[in-house]
Amino acid sequence: MVYKNAFFQMLIKDAVYIKYFPPREGGAPLNLDELSSYLGSHSIEMDYKEFSKAVQEAKEPFIFKTNTEKTYPEAEKMIVTISDDGMQAVCRFIPPSTGGRIMHKEDLLKDLEFNGVKYGIIESAVDSYMNNKQYCTDYIMARGKAPIDGHDAKIIYKFNTDLQAKPKEKEDGSVDFFDLDIIASVEAGDELAELIKEDEGTPGTDVRGRLIKPSKVEKLVLKYGKDITLSEDGLHLISNISGHAILDNEKRVKVSNIFVVKEDVDLSTGDINYDGNVEVKGNVINGLKINATGDVVIGGTAEGVEIVAGGKIILKRGIRGMGKGILKSGGNIVAKFLENTTVNSGGYVMADAIIHSDVSAKGDVIVNSKKGYVNGGTIRSETLIRVKNAGSEMGTKTNMEVGVDPTLLVKFKTLQNKIEETVRRMDVSSKSIDLYRRKLQSDGKLPPDKLAQFKLLAMEYKKDSEDIVTMQEEFAAVQEEINTQDGGVIEVGNLVYPGVKVVVVDATLYVREIVKNVRFVRDGADVIARHMY
């Protein structure tokens, strides 16, 4: 018999013996645990210490007598081990004892099935063992079929969906208003989006015959608004109109047509309310309003106007708000300058100058042209404020606040005012109710009009009591959310003048003397200024 790994065989004569076959040509040594398990299953006792000593010295096969006098013959044995993941069955074999039955191919296959191996049996491995039996040797007798993972569905948008894409800047940092390229223009018939459907993959099977599911994949569908056609196969979105494409917060593709005012928006046009984009070639005159669900682009100047846009607002020549100007956008705001205007942006704000304005932005506020400056008013950003100069030599009060969502601050202050107002009203009501109650106790009754007023005050007081609990809970939740903000950065590339107040989340720094080229960040409970270069 030609073999390589060490193995053993049980011999039954006048007593029970173990015949040991040492390894050959670099074969594996005997696994004593395997021998111990085999003999233990037959209640056969042996001096393993003496046996191990004999094994270490043996170069040729030898026979070792056990401490057991008698046992029953044992057939050729197969030990099946199934891997933890169920993907492989490894078999080891022990030769039959004296008088034991040898194993045939059909016996091996039945034993595999008995041990739970029902799939992926490797016929060549079975034949290899049957043709040249190697004992105490691993045979991979079965392999499962691994599942093939598929892939998630994917949507490829055919237009620019980056709401944070910023317009091009000139070498001096100012915005090139003649090459904005941040509006996704489309033509009727253009493809807007393509859906690459998910591939759910192919299930696998382990050696026990159990199904193995591939990893779950994400399924997607194309979501879209009006004036868009979905192809019959559900994989393509086509625009029915020429206009502007956007992707909203719910991943819905929308297209809007553009309303163009070729000259000024003035008393001849009146206010503009439009479901789509508005482009004004000229100016917007004092006191008028523009309300659009899409973008608003104004080629001229705007004075004392209110502009509300669901998308971007672009003012190529800026706005003089005159204390009543309002800009409110769901997207970004880009302007030559902002003066005496209240600004609320759902994206970033970019300008060459901001003067005495109240500016709040979910994204960055960038005033980075060569002479770009912020002078007076308040600027708020959740992420980053980057300006060239802040404040003025005159010590103009200028606030820069970063690190907290401006909408949270508005909500915080609104709730704070409501709570204070409700407390004042309850205090007045309480005094009046006490007065009526004392009058009722002393006189035994109230005139009908006073009684009605007493009941009305009591009802209002009860409602205020209930409302203030809700408001205080909401106020505490907003305050906690503000406290969890981890801060932002304020960068000034040139000069910061005295009179500037810097706030990072809840830490404040008042600038007392001119500093240059600094980055303001929060350090613990303080704001510190670090030189950038």
pTM of the model: 0.53
Asked whether the beta carbons of 382 and 488 are under 8 A apart, the reply is yes
- The Cα–Cα gap between 480 and 374 comes to 30
Beta-bridged to residue 335, according to DSSP, are 315, 351
pLDDT for the residue 485 = 60
Residues in CB range of 517: below 8 A, 6 or more apart? 492, 493, 494, 531, 532, 533
- The Cα–Cα gap between 507 and 487 comes to 10
What residue ranges do the domains of the chain occupy? 7-143, 146-256, 277-404+487-531, 408-483
Residue type, 207: V
Asked whether the beta carbons of 265 and 247 are under 8 A apart, the reply is no
pLDDT for the residue 257 = 79
- The Cα–Cα gap between 70 and 275 comes to 99
- The Cα–Cα gap between 251 and 214 comes to 27
Q: At what angle do helices 448-483 and 406-443 cross, to 10 degrees?
A: 150
- The Cα–Cα gap between 523 and 516 comes to 19
Asked whether the beta carbons of 153 and 167 are under 8 A apart, the reply is no
DSSP letter for 147, please: -
One digit per residue, pLDDT tens: the chain, 533 residues? 689 999 999 999 999 999 999 999 889 999 999 999 999 999 999 999 999 999 999 999 999 999 998 899 999 999 999 999 999 999 999 999 999 999 999 999 999 999 999 999 999 999 999 999 999 999 999 999 999 999 999 999 998 887 666 666 777 776 665 555 556 778 899 999 999 999 999 999 999 999 999 999 999 999 999 899 999 999 999 999 887 888 887 899 998 878 888 889 888 778 888 888 899 999 999 988 999 988 999 999 999 999 999 999 999 999 999 999 999 999 999 999 999 999 999 999 999 999 999 999 988 999 988 888 999 999 999 889 999 999 999 989 999 999 876 666 677 778 888 998 999 988 888 888 888 888 878 877 788 888 888 888 888 888 888 888 888 888 887 777 766 666 789 999 999 999 999 998 878 899 999 999 999 988 877 888 888 76
Residue type, 319: I
Asked whether the beta carbons of 281 and 299 are under 8 A apart, the reply is yes
pLDDT for the residue 486 = 63
Token pair for 430? 């309480």
